[in-house]
Chains A and B, each alone.
Chain A
Amino acid sequence: MRANKVLDGNTAVSEAVRQLDPDVVMAYPSAPGAPMLERLAMDIANGSLDTELVNMESPQSAISGCIGASAAGGRVFSSASSQELAQMHEMLFIASSLRLPIVIGIADRALSAPINYYADHSDAMAERDCGWIQLFCESPQEAYDNIIQAYKISEHQDVKTPVMVAMDGWITSHTMENVSIEEPSEITDFMGKRIPTYSLLNSTKPLTIGSFSSPNYYFEHKLNQFQGMENSRKIIREVGKEFGDRFGRYYGYFETYKLDDAEYGIIIMSSAAGTAKEAIDRLRSRGEKVGLLKLRVFRPFPFQEIQERLLGLKAIAIFDRNIVPGSQGGPLYNEIRSAMYFCEDNLRPKIFPYIFGLGGRELNLSDIDNTIKEIKEKTEKVESENGFHFVNVRYRQVNNE
């Protein structure tokens, strides 16, 4: 039977992982995602989970261990946030190019310096080019649901690509909410056992993975990997639908909120979507035609679907929760603007880059109000779209005279 529990995001993730009965958990706990691993360690210690727990001495070793265990045919889990995810960097490329199903949970946290403990997307966004599928969650419920789907997507024969499931540190990882936890047998039924196509531990069929590749082969191997990610586009949708048919909560590349008849739109990811929805309700009650698109899947980037969904809006504000010095806008902005390049000129919305929430800075309802006001004015006055907008940050004009 389905159980309704009050859980924070970390516990929701560990509940999902527990129900999926992993073979190996590699642990180098890092805040704010540490409780994911601590709860699993507790289950393993008290015997309720038959999983090998390996305490590693660094994040790089933790992900290396995941690579080995997955190549041996196991279902594996680990977690990392911020600096710890950055320390995994080089191994993330190896995991994806070896086409290994691995899932890691991330409680997004800002990168140093300055040292900071709070939510933003710098850590996950810095890994957007490493060939992993990236799912972002708004709530503990989505964290639970996405972890389960992540394994199904990752282990699919046509995909075989690792997945990172990210939620906002503290805001989602440590805030308690109602979460529906599905019947364990239903989850087992939904997932099935991982059927690896090969195992490094199979001594009757020896094989080599990750060997040297000359210029004569490297390019071909990379395209083979690229295809795995491309295949995931279809599988992510299928798994999201199958999950919905079974459990009642449907998932696609993104969720829209009051976007159908909207003239102005906000694009945002993860927990801040909750604030945006509330702000949109208030703006709607004042007669403003505004809507929201909350992106769930950043890699593979659903450029075609996004383009179709945003066509015809007057203007959109894209909210990135990390800053890339020297760029034209945050990663989300750049992807979406690039997706909109091929629309007909008269249907393309004006696109404005907003940076918010760095190092845990709050996003207020009034910030969304002001944004909508700003993009409306700029659109009506046909002002340039260029230039960053920084939300809720101090700047003081210095008078030098």
Chain B
Amino acid sequence: MSHEAWNELKPGTIIEDPGSASNHFTGHYRKGLKPEFNELNCIHCFFCWVFCPENAIMTEAEKISGINYDYCKGCGICANECPVENKPKPLIMIKEVI
């Protein structure tokens, strides 16, 4: 991908292309931990979806369907916010070899 030179940029840091942050894959921020989703005990409260700072919680037909690891940065907020205590928990952080 070629990046603009300073004289090609619009004055004032303007970005005219909405949602261009999705061009930036934050998955590589993960440093050894990743969330794992298990639908069994999930009550689909969407807490994880609301709190995820990277919009990495995926949904399908108004239900949580998994995690998009292209964007998940492994912060663990989703697992921390998930209210379900029954085992297996719907979201746990597991080791990931990188």
The interface-forming segment of A203-211, A233-241, A353-361, A379-387 is A203-211
Tell me if A397 is interfacial: C-beta within 8 Å of chain B.
no
CB distance from B49 to the nearest CB of A (A): 22
How far is A23 from B12 in the complex, measured between Cα atoms in Å?
A: 21
Check A207–B11 contact: CB distance below 8 A.
no
Q: Which of A173-221 contact B (CB under 8 A)?
A: 198, 205-211, 213, 216-217, 219-221
Tell me if A227 is interfacial: C-beta within 8 Å of chain B.
yes
Q: Residues of A contacting B7 with CB < 8 Å?
A: 223-224, 227
Chain A residues within 8 Å of chain B by Cβ, number: 25
- Our pick among B4, B9, B11, B18 for the contact of A208 (Cβ within 8 Å) is B18
Q: Residues of B contacting A348 with CB < 8 Å?
A: none
Check A208–B14 contact: CB distance below 8 A.
yes
Tell me if A97 is interfacial: C-beta within 8 Å of chain B.
yes
CB distance from A66 to the nearest CB of B (A): 14
Check A224–B3 contact: CB distance below 8 A.
no
How far is A206 from B21 in the complex, measured between Cα atoms in Å?
A: 14
Chain B residues within 8 Å of chain A by Cβ, number: 15
CB distance from B19 to the nearest CB of A (A): 9
Convert A96-107 into 0s and 1s, putting 1 for each residue whose CB lies closer than 8 angstroms to a CB of B: 011110000000
**Which of the listed residues A97, A206, A224 has the most CB atoms from chain B within 10 Å of its own CB?**
A224
Check A220–B9 contact: CB distance below 8 A.
yes
How far is A205 from B12 in the complex, measured between Cα atoms in Å?
A: 16
Tell me if B5 is interfacial: C-beta within 8 Å of chain A.
yes
Tell me if A121 is interfacial: C-beta within 8 Å of chain B.
no
The A contact surface, by secondary structure, is: loop
CB distance from A71 to the nearest CB of B (A): 8
Check A207–B14 contact: CB distance below 8 A.
yes
Tell me if A160 is interfacial: C-beta within 8 Å of chain B.
yes
Q: Which of B1-23 contact A (CB under 8 A)?
A: 3-7, 9, 11-16, 18, 20-21
How far is A227 from B7 in the complex, measured between Cα atoms in Å?
A: 9
How far is A211 from B24 in the complex, measured between Cα atoms in Å?
A: 13
Tell me if A228 is interfacial: C-beta within 8 Å of chain B.
yes
Q: Residues of B contacting A219 with CB < 8 Å?
A: 6
How far is A99 from B12 in the complex, measured between Cα atoms in Å?
A: 5
Which partner residue on chain B sits nearest A205 by CB separation? Answer: B16
Q: Which of A287-306 contact B (CB under 8 A)?
A: none
- Our pick among B4, B9, B14 for the contact of A209 (Cβ within 8 Å) is B14
How far is A227 from B11 in the complex, measured between Cα atoms in Å?
A: 9
How far is A97 from B4 in the complex, measured between Cα atoms in Å?
A: 17
Q: Residues of A contacting B4 with CB < 8 Å?
A: 217, 220
CB distance from B3 to the nearest CB of A (A): 6
Check B15–A97 contact: CB distance below 8 A.
no
- Our pick among B11, B18, B21 for the contact of A99 (Cβ within 8 Å) is B11
Q: Residues of A contacting B16 with CB < 8 Å?
A: 198, 205, 207
Q: Residues of B contacting A208 with CB < 8 Å?
A: 14-15, 18, 20
Q: Residues of A contacting B5 with CB < 8 Å?
A: 220
How far is A198 from B14 in the complex, measured between Cα atoms in Å?
A: 9
Which partner residue on chain A sits nearest B18 by CB separation? Answer: A206
Check A228–B15 contact: CB distance below 8 A.
no
- Our pick among B3, B9, B11, B13 for the contact of A211 (Cβ within 8 Å) is B13
CB distance from A214 to the nearest CB of B (A): 8
- Our pick among A198, A210, A216, A224 for the contact of B9 (Cβ within 8 Å) is A224
- Our pick among B11, B14, B18 for the contact of A228 (Cβ within 8 Å) is B11
CB distance from A133 to the nearest CB of B (A): 15
> Can you report 21 A-B residue pairs in the complex whose CB atoms are below 8 A from each other?
A98-B13, A99-B11, A160-B11, A198-B14, A198-B16, A205-B16, A208-B14, A210-B13, A211-B15, A211-B21, A213-B13, A217-B3, A217-B4, A217-B9, A219-B6, A220-B4, A221-B13, A223-B6, A224-B7, A224-B9, A227-B6
Query: Which chain B residues have a beta carbon within 8 Å of chain A's beta carbons?
Result: 3-7, 9, 11-16, 18, 20-21
Query: Which chain A residues have a beta carbon within 8 Å of chain B's beta carbons?
Result: 97-100, 160, 198, 205-211, 213, 216-217, 219-225, 227-228
Q: Which 10 A-B pairs have the closest CB atoms?
A: A99-B12, A223-B6, A220-B6, A99-B11, A208-B15, A98-B12, A224-B9, A207-B16, A224-B6, A206-B18
Q: Can you name 13 extra interface pairs (CB under 8 A) apart from A98-B13, A211-B21?
A: A160-B12, A198-B14, A207-B14, A207-B16, A208-B18, A209-B15, A210-B13, A217-B3, A220-B5, A221-B6, A224-B11, A227-B6, A227-B7
